[in-house]
Amino acid sequence: MRIINAANKKDQNSDNRERYNKNKDNCQERTTGPLLLFHYIQSIAKDEGITQLWNGTITSLLLICNPVIQKFVYDTLRHKILFHRLLRQQQVAKPIVLKPVEAFLLGAVSKAVATILTYPLQLAQVLLRMQKKNFASVENCHANGKHPSKSLHASINKNHYTGTVDCLMKLYSSGGIHAMFRGVNAKLLQTVLTSAFTFLTYEQIIAALLRGYIATHRGMCKI
C-alpha cells in the first residue's frame, strides 16, 4: 500500500509539474508577444532603414479609393432609379426602395467598376510583396549555406521592381494593358459576388425599417 500511495503521489506531482510548465510557457508567450513585435520593428528599422516601416503605404492609401468609387457609383445609380420611381409613384405613403434584383445588380456593377479602376495598383502591390518574399528566401538560403533554386534566381532577375510606378511601367512595357489586368477575372468573381449579396442584404434591411416606420406612423396618426 505504501508503494502504491508513493507511486500515486509521484504521478500527481508529475502532473502538477506539467501543468505548471504549461502555464509558465503560456505566460511567457503572453508577455513576450508585444516584446517580439517591438523587436521585429527594431530589427527592420536597423537592417533595412526606418523608411521601410512604411513601405507600401502610398499604394495602400491609393487603394482606399476602391470602396469610395464603389459607394459613389452605387449611390448615383440608386438615386437615379429611386428618383424616376418617385415621379411615377402615385401613393406617397408607400416606401420607395430598390427591388432585390436591382440591389443585387447595382452592388455587382459598382464593385466591378471600382475593381477594374484600381486593379493595376492591387496587382503591383502583390508583385512587390512577392519580390520581397523572394529576396528573403534567397537571403535565408545563403544564411543556411544552401544554393537558391534556378527558378527563384530567374524570377528575381527577370522581374526586379524598384517601386509601384516602376512596376506599373514594366508591366505596361512587357504586355500592354493586358498585362496590367492579368488575373482580373478571378478578382472580379471574388469581389463582385460578395458586394452584390452585401448590398442586397443592405437594401432589404432598409426596406424592412421603412415599412416598420410607416406602419408605426400610420398607427400613431389614427390614435
Task: Determine the Cα–Cα distance for residues 18 and 11; give it in Å rounded to an integer.
Answer: 11
Measured in residues, the chain has a length of 223
pLDDT (tens, 9 = 90+) of the chain, 223 residues, equals 444 444 444 455 555 455 545 554 444 444 455 677 777 777 777 777 777 677 767 777 888 899 999 999 999 999 999 988 888 776 555 678 899 999 999 999 999 999 999 999 999 888 888 877 766 676 677 667 776 666 655 566 666 778 888 888 988 888 889 999 998 999 999 899 999 999 999 999 998 888 887 777 666 665 5
Closest CA to 184 of 83, 129, 114: 114
Q: Are 73 and 65 in contact (CB under 8 A)?
A: no
The ranges assigned to domains in the chain are 1-54, 55-222
- Give me the amino acid identity at 156: I
Can you give the pLDDT at residue 89?
Answer: 72
pTM for the complete prediction? 0.67
Task: Determine the Cα–Cα distance for residues 205 and 199; give it in Å rounded to an integer.
Answer: 10
All three cell numbers of 99: 427591388
Can you give the pLDDT at residue 193?
Answer: 93
